[in-house]
Structure 1
């Protein structure tokens, strides 16, 4: 069977963001159906060496902003040589530069844009992002379709002015083999948080919540880059709220997230802005009920299998944690099973990959 060529153009295939990880999972899941080619506008990284190894070819165009016209010309030449029927783009700059590069091509491929970004506040975006958004607005009717990773993102971008008659949501998917529930309920209860030290992640509200519950028999585990006592702001929270390092465990950045999820009972997200929070899906795949702020697609992901509270409200977060604490062991186990089942049904990489393939095949 001759496999169809699928070209992916991504802004940068080097970080560990949601779009990059989703692309890697998608390539692995669909390698029997497609010959994949990855074109990274900027660079590729060893992080994705195993993904790139199963691609028929891959390219890094060393884009730095100043060489944009040269990179568009390189991309055009590559697409001319590869002659794919379909190109899937990942992130704003890749969307724009691919759409510009196919102008004038004799055999123009179907181009699908991919948007993996929340647009809650366009004014706060960087100048480069604002520029790509402005161009995206002008070009948004050109692609064969736009795939958003979150319902909230779709609505935000449509309000901004990105209009395309074939816009749809395909959520990020997770590998169910990788994330497995732990049937054990810990004593004392362990609440887990994972997110880099960044304004968007709501660290002030996380520590306000912990301070309200420090007299409860609860252990908090905090994972994420910058979550350590060398960070003066974290150290300041410990001193301000007189927290105990045994009760509030700082793990900094960790690479083994499946084991982290197995070491906790509930997952807590205190973000003030998100698009599609992958951590909630990973946590639920691990059989964890989630307590989350109402940001991005959190409510759509968690539904009635956890607690959704307003952002920046530590009282509501603390009350939700206590509601979980007061459940019976049987109720906690039922929640474990139900959260896993929701991910199996809606967010497995198998299910999500099939949705992408349906889109790619729809315009033949």
Structure 2
């Protein structure tokens, strides 16, 4: 069987973001169907050594903005030499530079854009992203298709002015074997939260919610870079609400997330903006019902297997947590089963990678 040659152009294959992790999983899952090649506009990282090892070749072009013209020329030369059947782009700058690099190219390449970004507030984006968005709007009809990682993202970008008749949503997939349900229910109940310390993650509402429940028999575990008492804002929340470190456990950056999920009973997300929140899928793959704000694709992911409340509403979050805490053991066990099943049926990497393959093949 002839493998399909797929070149992936990604803005930077060095950060630990949703797009990078999805690309890495996709390569590992489809190595037998495709010959994969990665062109990172900026850098590649040892973090993705496993995926890079499975590629027939990989390149890092050292793009820094100032050298855009030479990087465009390098990218064009590489794509002409490699002559792939399919080019899959990942993120705005890769979408734009690939489309510009292939303008008036003799051999027309089948190019797909990949969008892994929420566009809830375009005016708040960085200057670099605003420039990429302006170009994207102008070029959006050129690719063969656009793959969005979230339904909310597709709607936001179309409203912004992206026009492409072949636009679809393919969710980020998880490696199901990595996450196992822990059937034990802790006593007292443990509610977990994971997210770096950033306004978008809704820490303000997280602590307001915890303060409302501090007299309840509930332990909160908070994971994420910056979630420690050396952070003056976190320290201030502890003092303001008179919180106890035994009840509200700050774990900072956690390296073993599957182990973290096994140590809790339900997962809490208080974000005020998201695109496709991977943490919800990971938590549900671990058999955890989720209590989440209605942001990005949270409602689509959680479906009927948890609680969705309006963002910036600590009262609603606290009530949803109590609804879970006060449910029967049987209901809690049933939720463990149904959350895992929801992920198996919709968000496993096997299923998601088949959607990518179908997209690439339908236009060959």
- Identify the residue that residue 172 of structure 1 maps to in structure 2: 172
User: SS of 1:177's equivalent?
Assistant: helix
- Identify the residue that residue 86 of structure 2 maps to in structure 1: 86
**Partner Cα separation in structure 1 for residue 159 and residue 64 of structure 2:** 30
How much has 1:3 moved relative to structure 2?
Answer: 1.4
How much has 1:303 moved relative to structure 2?
Answer: 1.1
- Identify the residue that residue 232 of structure 2 maps to in structure 1: 232
For each residue in 1:289-319, what CA deviation from the matched residue of structure 2 results, as whole angstroms up to 9, or x when unmatched?
Answer: 0000000000000011100000000000000
User: SS of 1:104's equivalent?
Assistant: coil
How much has 1:114 moved relative to structure 2?
Answer: 0.2
**Partner Cα separation in structure 1 for residue 272 and residue 301 of structure 2:** 16
How much has 1:104 moved relative to structure 2?
Answer: 2.2
**Partner Cα separation in structure 1 for residue 227 and residue 148 of structure 2:** 30
Answering whether residue 132 of structure 2 is matched by residue 125 of structure 1, we say: no
How much has 1:2 moved relative to structure 2?
Answer: 2.7
- Identify the residue that residue 218 of structure 1 maps to in structure 2: 218
- Identify the residue that residue 252 of structure 1 maps to in structure 2: 252
TM-score under structure 2 length normalisation: 0.99
**Partner Cα separation in structure 2 for residue 362 and residue 101 of structure 1:** 24
- Identify the residue that residue 41 of structure 2 maps to in structure 1: 41
- Identify the residue that residue 74 of structure 1 maps to in structure 2: 74
Task: Trace 1:53-64 onto structure 2 (pairs within 5 A).
Answer: 53-64=53-64
**Partner Cα separation in structure 2 for residue 256 and residue 330 of structure 1:** 29
**Partner Cα separation in structure 2 for residue 45 and residue 224 of structure 1:** 21
User: SS of 2:219's equivalent?
Assistant: strand
User: SS of 1:308's equivalent?
Assistant: strand
User: SS of 1:119's equivalent?
Assistant: coil
**Partner Cα separation in structure 2 for residue 264 and residue 233 of structure 1:** 25
**Partner Cα separation in structure 2 for residue 46 and residue 274 of structure 1:** 27
For each residue in 1:213-245, what CA deviation from the matched residue of structure 2 results, as whole angstroms up to 9, or x when unmatched?
Answer: 011110000000000011000011011111111
How much has 1:105 moved relative to structure 2?
Answer: 1.7
- Identify the residue that residue 202 of structure 1 maps to in structure 2: 202
The two structures, once aligned, show a CA RMSD in angstroms of: 0.5
Structure 1's unaligned 5+ residue stretches are none
**Partner Cα separation in structure 2 for residue 287 and residue 265 of structure 1:** 9
Task: Trace 1:312-351 onto structure 2 (pairs within 5 A).
Answer: 312-351=312-351
**Partner Cα separation in structure 1 for residue 268 and residue 108 of structure 2:** 46
How much has 1:159 moved relative to structure 2?
Answer: 0.2
**Partner Cα separation in structure 2 for residue 167 and residue 272 of structure 1:** 26
**Partner Cα separation in structure 2 for residue 48 and residue 6 of structure 1:** 18
Number of positions where the alignment pairs a residue of Structure 1 with one of Structure 2: 364
**Partner Cα separation in structure 2 for residue 138 and residue 255 of structure 1:** 41
- Identify the residue that residue 188 of structure 1 maps to in structure 2: 188
User: SS of 1:72's equivalent?
Assistant: helix
**Partner Cα separation in structure 2 for residue 7 and residue 206 of structure 1:** 41
Structure 2's unaligned 5+ residue stretches are none
- Identify the residue that residue 26 of structure 1 maps to in structure 2: 26
TM-score under structure 1 length normalisation: 0.99
**Partner Cα separation in structure 1 for residue 313 and residue 243 of structure 2:** 20
User: SS of 2:65's equivalent?
Assistant: coil
- Identify the residue that residue 363 of structure 1 maps to in structure 2: 363
How much has 1:4 moved relative to structure 2?
Answer: 1.7
**Partner Cα separation in structure 1 for residue 15 and residue 225 of structure 2:** 14
Runs of at least 4 residues off by over 3 Å:
none
- Identify the residue that residue 115 of structure 1 maps to in structure 2: 115
For each residue in 1:34-81, what CA deviation from the matched residue of structure 2 results, as whole angstroms up to 9, or x when unmatched?
Answer: 110010000011110111011111000000011111101000000011
User: SS of 1:9's equivalent?
Assistant: strand
User: SS of 2:162's equivalent?
Assistant: coil
**Partner Cα separation in structure 1 for residue 6 and residue 254 of structure 2:** 33
